[in-house]
Amino acid sequence: MRVLMVYAHPVETSFCAALKERALKALVARGHEVEVLDLYEQGFDPVLTRAERLAYHDVPENRAGVAPEVEQLQRAEALVLVYPVWNFGFPAILKGYLDRVFLPGVSFRMEKGRAKPNLQHIRRLVAITTYGGARWRAFVLGDPPRRIVRRVLRSLVAPTARLAYLAQYDLNSADAATRTAFLERVEAEMARV
């Protein structure tokens, strides 16, 4: 399977980096073709420009500034997102990736004024993430990243696509055993992709 892994963390020694490496190793061991898009390493510009917004509904001209990223997404049969949750949201660089790449004609298409899903080739959607705070805090606040993945992104992919949302809550106080257990959980889930 062709897997696109979108990674969003600026520190190469972070726990998120370890999660990315563990997931990548497990996917490659299963024989998957994995393309890693490290948004920070690439220097991805998350800012949607005025010109891009004005051309937003002009398909296919709207993808001019992000053509390589669109092509990666269109090749993928599985999408794996690896990122931390900051301030109960995606890192700005990942939010900008979604804003700039998940365009009309790419992730959805307009038919008679209604948005229709357009990532039907994606049969597996996985989010691997960390939260500094406890699960109950995220729950009380509505856990926006979980909802976006489980509702918005899920609605764009194949209706039969399998979804996994792997979250390590309370990372700020997690001990080595907790972190190791989560790494193993990620590896086990990647073995099922």
Q: Which long-range contacts (CB under 8 A, 24 or more apart) does 14-17 make?
A: 14/84, 15/130, 15/168, 15/171, 15/179, 16/82, 16/83, 16/84, 16/130
pTM: 0.95
What does the pLDDT look like over 86-103, one tens digit per residue?
999 999 999 999 999 999
The answer on pLDDT for 113 being more than 90 is: no
Q: What is the pLDDT of residue 101?
A: 98
Tell me the C-alpha distance between 148 and 160, whole Å: 18
* 3-class SS shares of the chain: helix, strand, coil, % to 5: 45, 25, 30
Q: Measured between alpha carbons, how far is 101 from 105 in angstroms, rounded to an integer?
A: 10
- Domain enclosing residue 148, as ranges: 2-190
pLDDT tens digit sequence for 13-59: 999 999 999 999 999 999 999 999 999 999 999 999 999 999 999 99
Token pair for 96: 């900008």
The two beta strands, 114-117 and 108-111, are antiparallel
- Beta bridge partners, 163, equal 125
Q: What is the DSSP letter of 32?
A: -
Count of structural domains, the chain: 1
Instruction: Report DSSP state, residue 167.
Output: E
CB contact at 8 A, 5 and 82: yes
Give the number of C-alpha atoms closer than 13 A to the C-alpha of residue 19, restricted to the C-beta side: 29
CATH number reported for the structural domain that contains residue 183 in this entry: 3.40.50.360
Q: What are the pLDDT digits (tens) for 142-165?
A: 899 999 999 999 999 999 999 999
